[in-house]
Structure 1
Amino acid sequence: MSLSDLKHQLRKYDFPICAKEALIRIEQLLVGRAAPSNKQLDIAMDVIAEFVFCEVDRRGNRRSAGITPLQELQLIDVICEYLSTCGNDTTKNTIFLSLFGGIESQRRLKVLSILASMAVSASSTSVLLAVGVWLQQMGCSSALSLQLVENIIRDHFYLNTSNQNTLKSLAITAPQFVSNFITAVTELYMHDLQGTKKLPPRNLLEVITSWVFSNPTLCMSAQLNPAALPSGSIPMAAVTPLAGLVHWCALAPLYIDEDQEMVEMIVPVKRIKLENERDHPTFKTNAFNKVLTEAELYTKLHLAVLHSLRAGRRTHGPPTAVNAQHLTGLTPHVQACAHQLLKRGIKLQNDRRLQDCLDRIGQAVQVALANGCVYGNISNLLAALDTLPENRLLRIIIKTHQQII
């Protein structure tokens, strides 16, 4: 069928039915045994622009006004329905990447942001897994990915704590999405060397800590479950969030006051059984609210990251969990903080917060290297760490591994 015939058929339908029909035709064009031809790709892009996002008119001219807010919601409903009923992951990812893979306008990004945010609220596995693949293919640190993630954080992780159970369950229902989401999130915070301490929102920190603490292999999910991509596409390597989380945990003692920002956590109370008392089948454990500071949350996250680094060991093939260069990126931040301490006349060996930071770096590097999950130039990593202020644990670790290499 020619492009003109296809467009003629689709023009018989009003929006959003035309978008629904367009997705079916796009699937017929792009999904098959062989990779689609350039002509098929061009036809699919033309159909998407005119009948899905209504970006051009029937003559191919760019529309000045996009779809209305009501039409946005109708389109999102159409896309959700298509993804939820599509039983083949390759087909689903093919269509999703065709819709959003070559985003050139903020209009499509806006639709994608609303779609992703609604999927988080509804725990829509099919949509979230497609979003996770999109993050990976775009690059979790790309400007588009960071914009999308910032929108999700704004919708779900500021002030709103009533949906934490829903958010925490995503680690089970959509682990690949969660892994790529955390990787992108770690790019947003604690990376400024200009003295600005941009810290993750309290609710976001708590949920990420819960995610990583509950499942040591979560951070590897995107690597352990390769994306089902369309034929002929180039898969982008999945980057784990481990290096970014090491950054967070190591820098936390320097950036966080120990009594800052209290976070409520539910901790079960142990009940003492009385003598001769029988177990009652309907007995329910009581609980009380224990208040954790942000500093304590980062300590818990640090422990979870160490467990994850142990789980990142590969029995076959080269290591893929942590890039040595990403760990090396920690050193300028620590050196900048040490320089500020020296300017204030503080001895670096006596500053507990700096030493806690260096201890955490040493612990993370030791566990990562001992479990063989670091790739890249390890010699450069050790040389960079050797420029950090004096710390007994870190010096032992550097010396030990320099002798091994």
Structure 2
Amino acid sequence: MSLSDLKHSLRKYEFPVCAKEALSRIEQLLVGRAAPSNKQLDVAMDIISEFVFCEADRRGGRDRRGGGLSPLQELQLIDIICDYLSACTNEITKNTVFLSLFGGMESQRRLKILSILASMAVSASSTPVLLAVGVWLQQMGCSSAQSLQLVENVIRDHFYLNTSNQVALKSLANSAPQFVSNFITAVTELYMHDAQGTTKLPPKNLLEIITSWVYSNPTLCMSAQLNPAALPSGSIPMAAVTPLAGLIHWCALAPLYIDDDSEMVEIPEVPMKKIKLEGETERSIVKTVTHKPLSESELYMRLHLGVLHSLRAGRRTHGPPTAVNAQHLAALAPVVQTYAHSVLKRGGKLQIDDKLQDCLDRIGQAVQVALANGCVYGNINNLLAALDTLPENRLLRIIIKTHQQII
């Protein structure tokens, strides 16, 4: 069928039926034994623009009235895409169509629709959609502007307040680990970075959920690398970047920014069943056990322990290390040095500054576990040289000296 015939057949349908029909035609064009030709790709992109996102009028030209979808049509389209992804049993087919829809992302309208789709998938714990979004994050690059914008939207919708959805959020680490791994990688780009003299800290609820994810599943951070994305024929896979370096930054710098007596984080009460004794009333069967809430500093301690366990789990039995980039670890040095200069400026002593020493201890622990388990790739000599410029810390000094001798 020629392009004109294909478009003519789709123009018989009104939205949203035309969008549903278009997805099946896109699949036929792009999925096969060989990579699609440039002509097939061009046809697929034209169909997507006109019949899925309504970015062109019925004559094929740009819609001068603004085009695009109404809010109701956006929700209808999201529903159609969800149904398609849920029904698609072949991962390559699913990712091929999904990346064709959202791969370029020059359009803010498409990014808005994708953000709503991702947020709804998180709410519904929709594994097929979340896995497709996880592949999209990886292919776009978790630190790209588009990925960060999507992740910010998901955080805004789900992680600013403690909600009854916490249990569902925590379960995502088991149902969609590749998405969660890439999501955390992007999240670490948003927080704990010094921007114009201020440091943006993650919302407490987000911190609690990420801590729960990492602490309870040591292999989670490696999920995107352990489960390579099923990509269309001829595509170039982007390397999966683990969130470990970003989380090491969070945990190491937390003592510099978080007060030990900071506001407590509420943890839901857990009912504990009790054996009913003769003569007891029904109300006494269940006894509520209240967990002591964790402060932010305690959450970062737990996250730090989870990261150390993850570094041990990230040990490669064969092939080069892929978990943590030495350059990313070395980037901690100037941040810590800036804080050390502020301590000296106000007349303090570096050796007895508890916050600084806690920070250096955590850097030393993370570097030691990462190097001992063969998780670090890149220029390790430069990493050790950068760490050697940090203020005096006994643990860190021993680790630097030991690995300098080994190298």
Separation in 2, partners of 1:326, 1:216: 21
Map of 1:21 onto structure 2? 21
The alpha carbon displacement at 1:289 in A equals 3.2
Amino acid at match of 1:335: Q
The alpha carbon displacement at 1:317 in A equals 0.5
Separation in 2, partners of 1:290, 1:3: 65
Distance 1:209 1:62, change over 3 A: same
Contact persistence 2:274–2:287 (CA under 8 A) = no
Separation in 1, partners of 2:360, 2:103: 41
Distance 1:218 1:284, change over 3 A: farther
Contact persistence 1:268–1:285 (CA under 8 A) = no
Map of 1:55 onto structure 2? 55
Separation in 2, partners of 1:67, 1:26: 20
Q: How many residues align?
A: 397
Superposition pairs for residues 213-292 of structure 1, below 5 Å?
Answer: 213-265=215-267, 286-292=288-294
Map of 1:43 onto structure 2? 43
Residue 232 of structure 1 aligns to a residue whose secondary structure is coil
Map of 1:32 onto structure 2? 32
Separation in 1, partners of 2:61, 2:157: 34
Map of 1:277 onto structure 2? none
The alpha carbon displacement at 1:245 in A equals 0.2
Residue 291 of structure 2 aligns to a residue whose secondary structure is strand
Separation in 1, partners of 2:28, 2:268: 51
The alpha carbon displacement at 1:266 in A equals 5.2
**What stretches of structure 2 of length at least 5 have no aligned partner?**
276-283
Map of 1:133 onto structure 2? 135
For the pair 1:147 / 2:149, whether they are aligned, the reply is yes
Query: 4+ residue stretches of structure 1 with deviation over 4 A?
Result: 266-273, 282-286
For the pair 1:175 / 2:141, whether they are aligned, the reply is no
RMSD: 1.8
Identity of matched residues, % = 81
Separation in 2, partners of 1:357, 1:84: 45
Residue 265 of structure 1 aligns to a residue whose secondary structure is coil
Separation in 2, partners of 1:82, 1:221: 25
Map of 2:6 onto structure 1? 6
The alpha carbon displacement at 1:352 in A equals 0.3
**What stretches of structure 1 of length at least 5 have no aligned partner?**
274-281
Map of 1:188 onto structure 2? 190
Amino acid at match of 2:358: D
Residue 96 of structure 1 aligns to a residue whose secondary structure is helix
Separation in 2, partners of 1:271, 1:5: 67
Deviations 1:92-130 (A, max 9, x none): 000000000001111000000000000000000000000
Superposition pairs for residues 223-372 of structure 1, below 5 Å?
Answer: 223-265=225-267, 286-372=288-374
Distance 1:269 1:351, change over 3 A: farther
Amino acid at match of 2:173: A
* More moved, 389-398 vs 289-298: 289-298
Separation in 1, partners of 2:272, 2:96: 51
Give the alignment's TM-score, normalised by structure 1.
0.95
Give the alignment's TM-score, normalised by structure 2.
0.95
Contact persistence 1:193–1:336 (CA under 8 A) = no
The alpha carbon displacement at 1:89 in A equals 0.3
Separation in 1, partners of 2:14, 2:272: 62
Distance 1:124 1:271, change over 3 A: closer
Separation in 1, partners of 2:185, 2:320: 21
The alpha carbon displacement at 1:33 in A equals 0.3
Separation in 2, partners of 1:390, 1:160: 40
Deviations 1:349-368 (A, max 9, x none): 11000000000000000000
The alpha carbon displacement at 1:268 in A equals 7.0
Contact persistence 1:246–1:305 (CA under 8 A) = yes
The alpha carbon displacement at 1:402 in A equals 0.4
The alpha carbon displacement at 1:156 in A equals 0.3
Contact persistence 2:56–2:67 (CA under 8 A) = no
Separation in 2, partners of 1:158, 1:382: 38
Map of 1:278 onto structure 2? none
Contact persistence 1:266–1:287 (CA under 8 A) = no
